[in-house]
Amino acid sequence: MDFLEMPRFWILLIALCLCNSLNAIKTDKMVNCYYSSWSHNDNFRVHLDPKDIDPYLCTHLSFAFLNIGTSGQFNVEEDLIYGLLNRTLNLKWRNPSLKIIAVVGGSRISSTQFSLLAASESQRSLFKYSLAANLLRLGFDGLDLHWLYSGSSGVTGDKQNFVTLLSELKETLQPLNLEFGVTVGGKISYARKWYDVVNIAKHVDFINIMTYNYTDGSSVAHDAPLFSEDENNVHATIQYWIDEGAPASKLNMGVAFTSRTFIIWNNENLRTNTGIDVKWPFSDIDSEFKPYAQMCHLEYADLFYNTSFGFDLDAGASFVQDDVTWIGYESPRALEMKMNYLQAKKLGGVMVWSLQNDDFLGTCSEKYPLLQIINRKLDHRYECRYRICCIKSIRLRTFCFYIE
């Protein structure tokens, strides 16, 4: 490149970056998008590489999951650092406002290992200092501690030890300007026994609540209803955490871009919420849980004989059924209701599980259709009415998007 052309080149580059930054969501809510470390694998059902992630649709990108050694030391495998993780962290070059969070735990760490860590002063000390050093070294913006089932290993002290661990982590991470949050299960019956809500909220910046996976498979039911007759629903869970003392502004509503399938034994009295005899459906979990990227094709094409689609207004949830199959799933219309609820309750934001479950290739419509709905509902630049969102502008032509 000729020297005289350099200034023009850099001007164009800066202009391009500024134009791209205009595409970033403008919101005071947290849009926390999970990206799983196994979703780039060609053997996984949906292949999503970091280069295909739109870094402007999320305020936070949570990289799941990272491990802890048996002695409590936080280590990241070198091949992960120089491969997938490095490519993920590079998304901040495209959107400097994007916060990338390290998710520690989940399926990588057993509840027993977490219990031992939380109960041991020496392990907690090694963990927090090795964690802080590595988060800074790698360029993460914060931590999400993903210990869902404290107490499941039979350690009665888990409830208090969890709070102790959170307190020490906050003391370590806060001076380093690193964000700190936790992810917790959504069932109230579990929270009553194992979560000290007030003190959890005291020590963290945000709480991701997995307000999904409410069904146990014994009868047909929506997996993540906004409302239901029992306490297994989004509203009941959110209200429980608020009533127990958690600030609404710290709570992120969890949404899973997935479906759950049931095979029906007897459909004579088929209902959309409960009481149906079912065959515990599948030995292959991929057959039971499908991403929205697959479900959206059913919405746009009648692939099954005698298939019918429905929306349960009372539950705020979508379903599709035929003579032998019932599928409940997260849909655009259900998400619209949940985002309305989120705003009415003044929650801190939303946690998305997960990017690879959305139609990120745009095979049904636009790319990332479910995440786009969340953006338009929470973005200050949009004005939304019932099932339609329009860009607010007096200078530009108005663009509107319909929620199917």
Q: Tokens 């710290």 map to which residue?
A: 250
- Alpha helices in 345-396, H assignment, sequence order: 369-378
> Rg of the chain's alpha carbons, rounded to an integer?
22
Q: Which 3 state secondary structure label does DSSP give 189?
A: helix
- Amino acid letter, 366: E
Least Cα distance to 129 among 187, 168, 183 occurs for 168
Least Cα distance to 246 among 209, 199, 183, 287 occurs for 199
C-alpha to C-alpha distances, 129 to 135, 171, 176, 313, nearest whole angstrom: 10, 11, 12, 49
Classify the phi-psi angles of 213: left when phi > 0, otherwise alpha if psi is within -120 to 50, otherwise beta.
left
Distance CA 100, CA 88 (A): 8
Which residues share a beta bridge with 100?
Answer: 61
Which residues share a beta bridge with 113?
Answer: none
| Residues 6 or more apart in contact with residue 222 via CB below 8 angstroms | 214, 215, 228, 272, 273, 312, 315, 317, 319, 328
For each of the chain's 404 residues, which pLDDT tens digit applies? 444 444 554 444 444 454 455 578 999 999 999 999 886 664 556 689 999 999 999 999 999 999 998 899 998 877 677 789 999 999 999 999 999 999 999 988 899 999 999 999 999 999 999 999 999 999 999 999 999 888 888 888 999 999 999 999 999 999 999 999 999 999 999 999 999 999 999 999 999 999 999 998 777 899 999 999 999 999 999 999 999 999 999 999 999 999 998 887 665 444 444 434 444 333 344 457 889 998 888 766 655 557 788 999 999 999 988 878 889 999 999 999 999 999 999 999 999 999 999 999 999 999 999 999 999 999 989 988 888 998 887 555 567 888 97
279-336 tens-digit pLDDT: 433 334 445 788 999 888 876 665 555 778 899 999 999 998 887 888 999 999 999 9
Sheet holding 400-402, edge to edge: 382-385, 388-391, 400-402
Distance CA 318, CA 324 (A): 17
C-alpha to C-alpha distances, 159 to 145, 197, 277, nearest whole angstrom: 15, 10, 36
146-172 tens-digit pLDDT: 998 888 888 889 999 999 999 999 999
Domains and CATH numbers, the chain: 26-256+330-401 (3.20.20.80)
Specify the DSSP class assigned to residue 397.
Answer: P
Query: Is pTM, for the whole model, over 0.85?
Result: yes
Q: Which 3 state secondary structure label does DSSP give 207?
A: strand
Q: What angle do CA 224, 227, 230 make, to 5 degrees?
A: 95
Strands 258-264 and 289-291: antiparallel
Q: Tokens 């990588």 map to which residue?
A: 108
